Amino acid sequence: MPDPKSAVSPAEAPGAHSLAEILSQPQCWDSCLTLIAKGGQLEAIGELFASAKEWLFIGCGSSYYIALAAAASWSALTGMRARALPASELLLFPDPWLAGSQKYAPVLISRSGRTSEVLQAAEFLKARKVDSLAVTCADHERLEQLASTTLALLPADEQSTVMTRSFTSMVLALQYLAAFIAGNRAFLQALHQLPDAAENPLRDLDSRVREFVAVRQFSDYVALGQGPFYGLACESTLKLTEMSVSYGQVFHTMEFRHGPKSIVSPETLLVFLLSETGYSEECEVLEEVKSLGATTLVVANRADHRARASADLLVEFGFDLPELARLAPYVFAGQLLGLYTGLKKGFDPDQPRHLSRVVVLDDRQ
């Protein structure tokens, strides 16, 4: 496979780094999974947290959405209680999150290892003598010093401001750790199969999303997902907001009926992340909003006639892998939608306005 860290010249067109990093994801996953499977690192993490009864996944922004997907995967794969929370919640309102918690294992997620609120959360935990695991794409940063141990995915780091391959790589790494702790060898093997399986669908999707965006104009954007797909829906909306300065909303799929569907029109793009587990019920919502005039982008592993009839753009993977093992590719469409919408509006998705690559707060704040 090509080197996932291959550089793009700064002289390239706007969005060149983001596009290269989006398209590099399958190769990057292969590198990251190969890295963490070696050297006894997973064994050491499992031993450190062997007595944990509950796992807390903590992050900010995209890293919080990683936490949502990771917590849902963790509970399903290990049978242990797992929750996701923004770092700010632990800092400002710790009691509701920690009440009744015994022998919990905190996982601190930060691409840069320098996100201020995550560092403060790490300090909060260290002061209470609680062991923690850092998950990052950087090396020798402050988070690594504060955490008890670190899972570093260096091949997944990016030059762009927004997270793309780092998001999916950290989701996969945490799923891999969960399957390792659960002793689920079949799931580990499925994750190793995912990079090759995702390569061609991603390449095909690039041109399809570019063409879709070129001929359509939207005033509202909504992403919908249930269960482990909800965090991916959140991330899909965030990519659109960051890269294209477009306002987007996210809901649990079944919740969209309860008031939000009033916004539906042909200028509303609804992105449906259809699960296998809730497929029939989620398809009912898809059919309902299509009958109201919505424009729809549907992502599914395998679609039936209902989804095909209700989709203006259908993304169908056809992976022969367990549902949880194929979560990561479900954000491809949202990443590319954000990229090409931003370019159409004249923005540079590599450097979104008002944003920095790392949120570092002034010490006085």
Q: What secondary structure does DSSP assign to 94-149, as a single string?
A: HHHHHTT--SEEEEEE-SSS--HHHHHHHHHHHHTT---EEEES-SS-HHHHHSSE
d(CA 313, CA 299): 9
Phi/psi at 152 (nearest 5 deg)?
A: -105, 125
Give the pLDDT confidence score for residue 355 in this predicted structure: 64
Name the CATH code of domain 16-183 (choices 3.40.50.620, 1.10.510.10, 3.40.50.10490, 3.40.50.720).
3.40.50.10490
Average confidence (pLDDT) over 101-121: 93
For residue 9, pLDDT over 70 is answered with no
Q: Which amino acid is residue 82, in one-letter code?
A: A
Task: Write the Ramachandran bin of 333: left for phi over 0, alpha for psi from -120 to 50, otherwise beta.
Answer: alpha
Strand 104-109 to strand 54-59: parallel, antiparallel, or no bridges (unpaired)? parallel
At 42-94, the pLDDT tens digits run 999 999 999 999 999 999 999 999 999 999 999 999 999 999 999 999 999 99
- Domains of the chain, by residue range, sit at 16-183, 197-344
Residue 4 has pLDDT above 50, yes or no: no
Instruction: Read off the pTM.
Output: 0.93
| The amino acid at 4 | P
- Between 280 and 161, the more confident residue is 280
Q: Give rounded-to-5 percent helix, strand, coil for the chain.
A: 50, 15, 35
CATH code: domain 197-344 is 3.40.50.10490
Q: Do domains 16-183 and 197-344 have the same CATH topology?
A: yes
CB atoms within 10 A of CB 115: 27
Kindly report the average pLDDT of the chain as a whole number: 93
Query: Which segment of 6-10, 69-73, 198-202, 270-274 scores lowest on mean pLDDT?
Result: 6-10
pLDDT tens column, 144-187: 999 999 999 999 999 998 999 999 999 999 999 999 999 999 99
